[in-house]
Amino acid sequence: MLERAITYSHTLLRHTVKTGDTVIDATVGKGNDTLFLAPLVGQTGHIHGFDVQEEAIAITKEKCLQAGVLEQVSLHHIGHE
C-alpha cells in the first residue's frame, strides 16, 4: 500500500532538510507545513513562506508565534512564482 502524498513528502523532507538549511513553503495555507519544517531547519535555519491569501499569512504567523519559531520564518503575502 502506498503512503499518502503528505506522509510521503514529510518522510522525504525528514531525510533531506538539515539544521541550518533555508527552505521554502510555497503555499503556507494554515501553517502546518511551516511548523513541520521549523524543527528540521532548527534555530540556525530559515523558512520562507508564501501565500496569496492574507488570511493564510495571518494564521501561519500566529501559529509560528505561539510555537516560538517566528524568528525562523519570513512570510511573504505574494505568490511563490
Give the domain ranges of the chain.
Answer: 5-76
> What band does 1 get if pLDDT is binned at 50, 70 and 90?
low
Percentage of residues in the chain having pLDDT higher than 90 = 88
What superfamily in CATH does domain 5-76 come from? Vaccinia Virus protein VP39 (3.40.50.150)
| Cα separation, 74 vs 52, whole angstroms | 14
Whether 60 and 75 have beta carbons less than 8 Å apart is answered as: yes
Quick: pLDDT tens for 15-43.
999 999 999 999 999 999 999 999 999 99
pTM of the model as a whole: 0.90
Check residue 31 and give its pLDDT. Answer: 96
Instruction: Summarize the confidence of residues 41-65 as an average pLDDT.
Output: 97
How far, in Å, are 1, 6, 62, 65, 67 from residue 35 at the CA level? 27, 14, 11, 10, 8
